[in-house]
Amino acid sequence: MRFLARRLLFYLLAFFAAITLNFLLPRLMPGSPLDGLILRYGDAIRSNPDILKQLQASLGSSDDPIWSAYPTYLANTFTGNLGVSTSNQVPVTEVIRNTLPWSILLVGMGFVLSFVIGTFLGAVAAWRRGGFVDTVGTPALMALLSFPAFFLSLLAVYFLAFRLAWFPPQHAYPIDVVPTWSWEFAGDAFRHAQLPVLVVVALSVGGWMLGMRNVMITTVQEDYVTMARAKGLPDRQVMTGYAARNAILPPLTAFASFFASAVGGLILVEVVFSYPGVGLTLQQAALGHDYPVVQALLLVISFCVLLANFIMDCVYVLLDPRVRAS
């Protein structure tokens, strides 16, 4: 419990740091982002004085020094007052509500699948050193690891969706369909999610496999594994119950950096697939200098990443009795 409490405190601190970063970035940059916005969306901003006040609070203005603006900014963030999109006047909270579920769908399914497949393949590769999975699978997945997310997505869209027409190439559901809570729509959404999820899996499965394999290679040589073999336990039981059960812990500690890079990959996958998640929205908003949306999405992404890390810590506690005991 003390372990989890300490982790929770750390994540709160990290989230606070993300908010502060969000506050400082537009103020530290050369030039004034607000002036740029007024140049671009002048009429829309001037027609509504509330929007201007909101933008000044989040981006900084000359007559509002940093130390007095910071508390206002914090208060706005924690009350969910994230402002209005400058490009289409939609409240930012609504933008988040419409995009976040799609991203969670992709990254959730993709990440769980890649963890399961990757650790399994890694365990098998280490268990049978020099076997088929090790000699062909290890270098193949290493090669796959060096395919950047955008390139792998482009290849998948072109060959699997466009040439072979096995999957729908773009979007999260057919353009002429209105999202509803029905089985029919869920089927559409599932069909459209298959290929992006496949790409997300392909992107991170190698990391889990290599991590698991390298730890498992040393675990296999431990005395308790030899002992389990000597007892005459079935090969499969020694592999899963003795070697893999212990080898799975160290790769899990790499979860934070794996997940952070998976989120980076997710943005690129969404952009290539025109998938209406947080990543595509962030890119569009950032290119269009829609700062309220940009700032809010960075916070939402950071929050989700921290939450995922905390969930993983809980899993870790469940798996490792030593952490529970201390």
What is the number of other CB atoms lying within 10 angstroms of the CB of residue 82?
22
C-alpha distances in angstroms, 79 versus 59, 75, 76, 317?
18, 6, 5, 33
User: What is the length of the chain?
Assistant: 326
For another protein (CB under 8 A), the number of binding residues is 67
Closest separation between CB of residue 159 and another protein, Å? Answer: 8
Q: Judged by CB under 8 A, which stretch of 23-31, 47-55, 92-100, 103-111 contacts another protein?
A: 23-31
Closest separation between CB of residue 188 and another protein, Å? Answer: 20
Per DSSP, the residues of 228-263 read HHHTT--HHHIIIIIIIHHHTHHHHHTHHHHHHHHH
Closest separation between CB of residue 111 and another protein, Å? Answer: 13
First-to-last CA distance in the chain?
9
- % helix, strand, coil for the chain, step of 5: 80, 0, 20
C-alpha distances in angstroms, 113 versus 106, 157, 206?
11, 20, 12
For another protein, the closer CB: 47 or 257: 257
Kindly tell me which residue out of 3, 70, 147, 185 binds another protein, with binding defined by CB under 8 A: 147
For another protein, the closer CB: 93 or 309: 309
Near another protein in 33-62, by CB under 8 A = 33, 36
The three-class DSSP label of residue 117 is helix
Tell me, residue by residue from 113 to 132, as one string, x for binding to another protein by CB under 8 A and - for no binding: ----------------xx--
Q: 217-222: long-range contacts (C-beta < 8 A, 24 or more apart)?
A: 217/126, 217/129, 219/126, 219/243, 219/244, 219/246, 219/247, 220/126, 220/127, 222/246
Q: Judged by CB under 8 A, which stretch of 8-16, 67-75, 107-115, 317-325 contacts another protein?
A: 8-16
Least Cα distance to 17 among 303, 309, 314, 261 occurs for: 303
Near another protein in 211-230, by CB under 8 A = 214, 217-218, 221
Residue 70 found at the interface with another protein (CB under 8 A): no
The three-class DSSP label of residue 64 is coil
For another protein, the closer CB: 239 or 285: 285
Q: Which two tokens stand for residue 160?
A: 């699997």
3-state secondary structure 304-318: HHHHHHHHHHHHHHH
Q: Judged by CB under 8 A, which stretch of 63-71, 95-103, 241-249, 254-262 contacts another protein?
A: 254-262
Kindly tell me which residue out of 18, 74, 117, 319 binds another protein, with binding defined by CB under 8 A: 18
Kindly tell me which residue out of 291, 292, 313, 316 binds another protein, with binding defined by CB under 8 A: 291
Binding site for another protein (CB under 8 A): 10-11, 13-14, 17-18, 21-22, 25-26, 29-31, 33, 36, 129-130, 135-136, 139, 142-143, 145-151, 154-155, 157-158, 162, 169, 214, 217-218, 221, 256-257, 259-261, 263-264, 267-268, 271-272, 279, 282-283, 285-287, 289, 291, 294-295, 297-298, 301-302, 305-306, 309
